[in-house]
Amino acid sequence: MTDIVQPIAVAPTRKPPALWTSIRRNPTIFIGGLILAILTAMAIVAPLITGDPLRMTPAQRLRPPSEAWWFGTDQYGRDIYARTIYGARVSLTVGISVALVASVIGLAIGLICGYFRRVDAIVMRIMDGIMAIPSILLAIALITLTRPGLGIVLVAIVIPEVPRIVRLVRSVVLSIREQPYIESAIAGGTRGFKLLTKHILPNTMAPLIVQATYVCASAMLVEASLSFLGAGVPPEIPSWGNIISQGRSFFQIAPWSILLPGAFLTVTILAVNLLGDGLRDRLDPRLSRRM
């Protein structure tokens, strides 16, 4: 049987753009990413670039920023610069861990809810219930019931973040399910597990990644709030929240103890949000850079 149809050429694949063009097209991703990268690097090498955050030098209490003390000292004579950089460790750890753990749990639950209708109704009501509890109150309750520590803080922040991710993943799964290519795959013999992993899961990744960045920012803020209230990490571990909390009473005479860690917190959260926004715009097929 001879070939009846003339094989048709397909458009040639375009080469990926150069780095500079990528940066120019997605400035928010680049800026957000860069700031976070610098901060993470600083947090990791903290012992190499700062002094001891816990060492108290009462003779040097409440000194303003100077060459010896870049960010000044607090009421115990501790180096605020060192404390701020070490505080970055806490915030970044909390932010990234919560984002990762909540994403994994939320993804699993969301996939199941979106795909198996029977489970959906019950699980979503549970999620609604969890979302109704203010995260800070939940965290305080959990911490009061157990020992305070970084681990508990992580658990307390993860729990209220999970429902939001479940909702997102579930809605993406529900909309993908209706797509003709899913029906086409089923008609072609693709079954349950393979359908989920090969067809549905990859299409949830983009919105999930974007949401994960927002969860990260939110988690950092919650941790700072908890630490500010004294219900977060134990006071021996410097966290931006408790640095600010401890500087509260001395705000009028030593504003640097609040403003500088506060600025770091703000910039970090801003960077994460920029990254998230940039990724969202880049990954959203509808907002693609078209004509």
Q: How far apart are CA 83 and CA 90, in angstroms?
A: 11
The token duo for 45 is: 């090498």
Q: Considering beta carbons, is residue 40 or 171 the nearer one to other proteins?
A: 171
Which residue type sits at 236? E
State in angstroms the smallest separation of the CB of 11 from other proteins.
Answer: 6
Please check whether residue 198 is in contact with residue 216, taking contact to mean a CB–CB distance below 8 angstroms: no
Q: Which residues of 227-251 are buried (b: 16+ CB within 10 A; e: fewer)?
A: bbeebbbeeebbbbbbbbbbbeebe
Q: Considering beta carbons, is residue 63 or 280 the nearer one to other proteins?
A: 280
Q: Considering beta carbons, is residue 7 or 147 the nearer one to other proteins?
A: 7
Q: Considering beta carbons, is residue 15 or 147 the nearer one to other proteins?
A: 15
State in angstroms the smallest separation of the CB of 9 from other proteins.
Answer: 7
State in angstroms the smallest separation of the CB of 5 from other proteins.
Answer: 3
Q: Considering beta carbons, is residue 48 or 187 the nearer one to other proteins?
A: 187
Helix residue ranges, H only, 180-287: 180-187, 192-194, 201-229, 240-247, 256-283
State in angstroms the smallest separation of the CB of 195 from other proteins.
Answer: 10
State in angstroms the smallest separation of the CB of 198 from other proteins.
Answer: 8
Please check whether residue 169 is in contact with residue 80, taking contact to mean a CB–CB distance below 8 angstroms: no
State in angstroms the smallest separation of the CB of 179 from other proteins.
Answer: 6
Q: Considering beta carbons, is residue 183 or 284 the nearer one to other proteins?
A: 183
Q: Considering beta carbons, is residue 124 or 155 the nearer one to other proteins?
A: 124
Q: Considering beta carbons, is residue 186 or 253 the nearer one to other proteins?
A: 186
State in angstroms the smallest separation of the CB of 208 from other proteins.
Answer: 14
Sequence-separated (6 or more) residues with CB below 8 Å from residue 126 = none
Closest to 171 (Cα-Cα) out of 228, 111, 215, 126: 111
The token duo for 68 is: 């010896």
What residues line the site for other proteins (CB under 8 A)?
A: 1, 3-11, 13-14, 25, 179-181, 183-191, 194, 198-199, 202-203, 285, 289-291
C-alpha distances in Å from residue 183, one per residue of 51, 107, 145, 214, 247: 61, 22, 49, 33, 60
State in angstroms the smallest separation of the CB of 117 from other proteins.
Answer: 12
The token duo for 7 is: 């094989």
Q: How many other C-beta atoms are found inside a 10 Å radius of the C-beta of residue 88?
A: 23
